[in-house]
Amino acid sequence: MRLDLDEVRRLTGPNLLSNHTGAIIDVLIEGISGQEVIDCLQGHLQAIQHQLEWHEKTFVRYYDGGASLSMSAPIDLLYSACDILELAWECCVLDFSKLYAVQSDTLPLANFASRIDELRTAIIEERNPALIAFVQAAENNKVRCLVDDDEVSLGAGVSAQTWPIDAIPAPSTINWQQFSEIPLALITGTNGKSTSVRLAAQIAKAANLNSGVTSTDFIKVGDDIIDEGDYSGPGGARMLLRDNRTEIAFLEVARGGLLRRGLPVYHANAALVTNVASDHLGQYGINTVDDIAHVKLMVSKAIHQGDTLVLNADDSRLVKFVHSNANPSSVCWFSKYADNQQIVEALAAGCPCVYAKDNQIIYFDGKISHAIAQIDRIPMTVNGTALHNLENALGVVGLCKSMGISSKAITQGLFDFESNASDNPGRTNIYKRKGATIIVDFAHNPHSMQAVIKMASGLKQKNDYGEIKVLFGHAGDRSNEDIKRVADAIVTLQPNTYILTELEKYLRGREPGEISDIVEHHLLASGVQASQIQRASSPLAGTQTALKEVNEGDLVLLFALTEREEIRAFIESIK
C-alpha cells in the first residue's frame, strides 16, 4: 500500500474539474480504494475549513492509480488554498498510516493546532479586499479583467490598462466605458496548434489587423516577437492581451497549461480544436485518449451564446463529445470530405461548416456556399499532398469566418502562408539543395509523424525520387509500442536509409541508445537490412550525415525535435 502526493497547484481559471478559480491536489494511490482515500481527505478538509471559517466547494476526479481533488477559492487566496489542501492530505496520510502499513513520501504531520494558526495568519496576509472589489466591479461592468501575482488589468488590446497589484484604483474612479474588447480565439488540439495560430495571424494581416499570437514557440504582436519560449499558458495570454498594439488575438492553449492552471480567459469569441490523439499519457492523471479529449474540449467553457466552437468532423472523439455535451448550433464543423456525416447534417440544418470538395475549400455560412481557395494552390498543402495541413487550413477558415474576417482576406492569407522556416518554423519546411528535396518537420508523436509520412508518400507517387533518407528519434516518455508504430509508418515509405538519432535532452528516464536499440531491432524484424540503418548522436549530426552524399532527385525527410535552428542554418549553408 502506498499514498503519495503528486502535486498541489493553483487554478487561475476554468479547469477540468470546475469553472472556478481555486487549488487542486493530485494524489497517487496504490493498494487502497480511491473512494476511501478521497472520503478521508474530504473529511479532514471539511474540519480544517470549519476551523478557518472557510466555506468552499470541492470537486473530485478519479483515475487509474490516483485521484484529483480541487477546491474553489477566491482569486486572492489561491496560495492559502494550496496550503489547506496539503494540510488535509497530511492528516489523511497519518490516518492511513495508523490503520494500515502505508508507505508515503509525505512528511509526518507537524503540530496541527500551530498549523491552523499559521494558516489563519497566511490568509489574513494574502487576502486582498481591494482586488476582489475591483474584479467584481469589472464583472458587473462586463469588462475583461486579468489578474496575476504582480498586476491587474482591464480591457484588451488597444484599450487595455494595467496597474500594480498593490496599487489598485477604487472602482468608483474608473471610467468603465473606455474599455473595449478585441476578437479573441483559443486554439488547441494534439497536433496543428502552432501552425493554426500562425496561419490565422497571416490571415488577420491580410485583413489589415495587427494580430497577437501566443504559442509554444513564442509570443508575437504583428511582426514583432516579444519573447521566445513556451507561452501557451495563461501568462502568455495576459502579456498579449495587455499589449495595446493587439487588435485581434489567437491564443494557443496546450495540454500542460490547461491542466496546470486552467483556461487563460473566461470568454472567447471562437475556439478551435484541431484533433485529439495519444500524447503525453500518464501526466496529471490523463491516462487515455478520451481523457485528452476532455482536456482539449475545456475550451468550450469559454464559448458563450453567440460564440462558435470549431471542431474537426473527421475526429470521432470530438463528434462523440458534441453529441453528448455541446449545443450543436454553436459548432462549426470542418472536414476533408464533403460527404462527412456532420457536414451533410450541417448543410441540411443551415449551420455553418467548412469542407473540401473538387480541390476547393468550401465555406457554408448557413445559407450560401463560398469557394475560399483552390487546395493545391495553398502552399502549406504541398500541392495537396499534406492532408494534415489541409485539416489545419479548414479549421482556421472556420475560425476566421466565425470572427468576422472576410473571405477575400482568408483566401489571401492562405496563399501568402508558406511552408518555410519564416512563416511556419519547424513545420513541413521544404528546401531544395543540390537538386534534392529536403523536408524538416517538428512532428514528435505518432499521430503527427504518420501525417508527415503520408504526405511524403503522396509526394513519392507524384515524383520519381532517387534515394530516400529518413532521420528520426523519440522522446523517452513515448511507449515502446508508440516508438514501433512510428517505425512501421516510416517503413511504408520504403526509404533507402534510416538514420536513428539520439535526443539527449529528452531521454526522460531512458538510457542513452535505448530507444535506438528498440527501433533498430524492430526495423530488422520488419525486413529492413542492417546496411540501411545508421545512427547519429544528435539530429544535427544525423542531418550532416544525411546530406553529406545527396544527389539530384533524392528525398531527405528530417524529423528534428531538437537543434532546429542549427539544422536550418546548416541546410541554408549548402550551395
Which grid coordinates are listed for 217?
514557440
* Domain assignment of residue 252, yes or no: yes
Kindly state whether residues 199 and 344 are assigned to the same domain.
yes
Q: Which residues contact 555 (CB under 8 A, 6 or more apart)?
A: 436, 437, 439, 456, 459, 460, 463, 465, 466, 467, 468, 469
When divided into structural domains, the chain yields a total of: 4
Kindly state whether residues 309 and 448 are assigned to the same domain.
no
Question: Cα–Cα distance between 448 and 453 in angstroms, integer?
Answer: 9
Confidence (pLDDT) at 145: 97
Strand (E) or helix (H) holding 139 = helix 129-140
Question: Cα–Cα distance between 275 and 254 in angstroms, integer?
Answer: 12
* Domain assignment of residue 424, yes or no: no
Question: Cα–Cα distance between 404 and 268 in angstroms, integer?
Answer: 14
Question: Cα–Cα distance between 535 and 554 in angstroms, integer?
Answer: 20
Question: Cα–Cα distance between 567 and 189 in angstroms, integer?
Answer: 27
pLDDT in tens, the chain (575 residues): 889 999 999 999 999 999 999 999 999 999 999 999 999 999 999 999 999 999 999 999 999 999 999 999 999 999 999 999 999 999 999 888 887 777 777 766 778 999 999 999 999 999 999 999 999 999 999 999 999 999 999 999 999 999 999 999 999 999 999 999 999 999 999 989 999 999 999 999 999 999 999 998 899 999 999 999 999 999 999 999 999 999 999 999 998 899 999 999 999 999 999 999 876 676 788 889 899 999 999 999 999 989 999 999 999 999 988 876 655 568 999 999 999 999 999 999 999 999 999 999 999 999 999 999 999 999 999 999 999 999 999 999 999 999 999 999 999 999 999 887 778 887 889 999 989 999 998 877 777 888 888 898 888 888 888 999 999 998 887 788 888 988 998 999 999 999 999 888 888 889 999 999 999 999 999 999 999 999 999 999 999 999 998 899 999 999 988 888 899 999 999 87
Alpha carbon distance, N-terminus to C-terminus of the chain: 63
Kindly state whether residues 407 and 380 are assigned to the same domain.
yes
Kindly state whether residues 507 and 565 are assigned to the same domain.
yes
- Report which DSSP code applies to 379: G
Of 300, 386, 277, 410, nearest to 336 by C-alpha is 386
Strand (E) or helix (H) holding 194 = helix 193-206
* Domain assignment of residue 552, yes or no: yes
* Domain assignment of residue 423, yes or no: no
What phi and psi, each to the nearest 5 degrees, are found at residue 113? Answer: -60, -40
CATH of the domain at 226: 3.40.1190.10
Kindly state whether residues 397 and 440 are assigned to the same domain.
no
- SS3 (DSSP) at 165: coil
Confidence (pLDDT) at 564: 85
Residue 400 domain boundaries: 184-416
Chain centroid to CA 335: how far? Answer: 21
Q: Which residues contact 135 (CB under 8 A, 6 or more apart)?
A: 75, 145, 147, 152
* Domain assignment of residue 422, yes or no: no
Question: Cα–Cα distance between 339 and 574 in angstroms, integer?
Answer: 46
Residue found under cell 515524383: 463
Question: Cα–Cα distance between 449 and 428 in angstroms, integer?
Answer: 11
Confidence (pLDDT) at 463: 84
Question: Cα–Cα distance between 114 and 127 in angstroms, integer?
Answer: 20
Kindly state whether residues 400 and 451 are assigned to the same domain.
no
* Domain assignment of residue 457, yes or no: yes
Last residue of a domain, one of 416, 448, 473: 416
Confidence (pLDDT) at 397: 98
Strand 248-252 versus strand 211-214 pairing type: parallel
- SS3 (DSSP) at 145: strand
Strand (E) or helix (H) holding 252 = strand 248-252
CATH of the domain at 561: 3.90.190.20
H helices present in 431-563, as ranges = 446-462, 480-492, 514-525, 539-548
Kindly state whether residues 134 and 110 are assigned to the same domain.
no
Provide Rg for the chain, Cα atoms. Answer: 26
Of 411, 363, 390, nearest to 207 by C-alpha is 411
Last residue of a domain, one of 126, 146, 165: 126
Total residue length of the chain: 575
What DSSP string describes 388-406? HHHHHHHHHHHHHHHTT--
Of 209, 196, 52, 41, nearest to 122 by C-alpha is 52
* Domain assignment of residue 153, yes or no: yes
Residue found under cell 503520408: 454
- Report which DSSP code applies to 571: H
Q: Which residues contact 383 (CB under 8 A, 6 or more apart)?
A: 376, 459, 462
Kindly state whether residues 163 and 191 are assigned to the same domain.
no
Kindly state whether residues 387 and 436 are assigned to the same domain.
no
Kindly state whether residues 166 and 281 are assigned to the same domain.
no
Kindly state whether residues 298 and 254 are assigned to the same domain.
yes
Of 243, 246, 240, 244, nearest to 219 by C-alpha is 240
Do residues 555 and 465 make contact, with C-beta atoms less than 8 angstroms apart?
yes
- Report which DSSP code applies to 297: G
Confidence (pLDDT) at 269: 96
What phi and psi, each to the nearest 5 degrees, are found at residue 188? Answer: -145, 180
Which grid coordinates are listed for 369?
456556399
Distances (CA, A) of 171 to 75, 148, 238, 564: 17, 18, 21, 49
- Is the pTM higher than 0.95? no
Residue found under cell 460527404: 339
Whether the CA torsion 177, 183, 188, 193 is positive or negative: it is: negative
* Domain assignment of residue 421, yes or no: no
- SS3 (DSSP) at 429: strand
Question: Cα–Cα distance between 295 and 302 in angstroms, integer?
Answer: 13
Kindly state whether residues 47 and 150 are assigned to the same domain.
no
Which grid coordinates are listed for 276?
485529439
Question: Cα–Cα distance between 168 and 128 in angstroms, integer?
Answer: 10
Question: Cα–Cα distance between 145 and 163 in angstroms, integer?
Answer: 11
Q: What is the pLDDT of residues 313-322, one digit of tens each?
A: 999 999 988 8
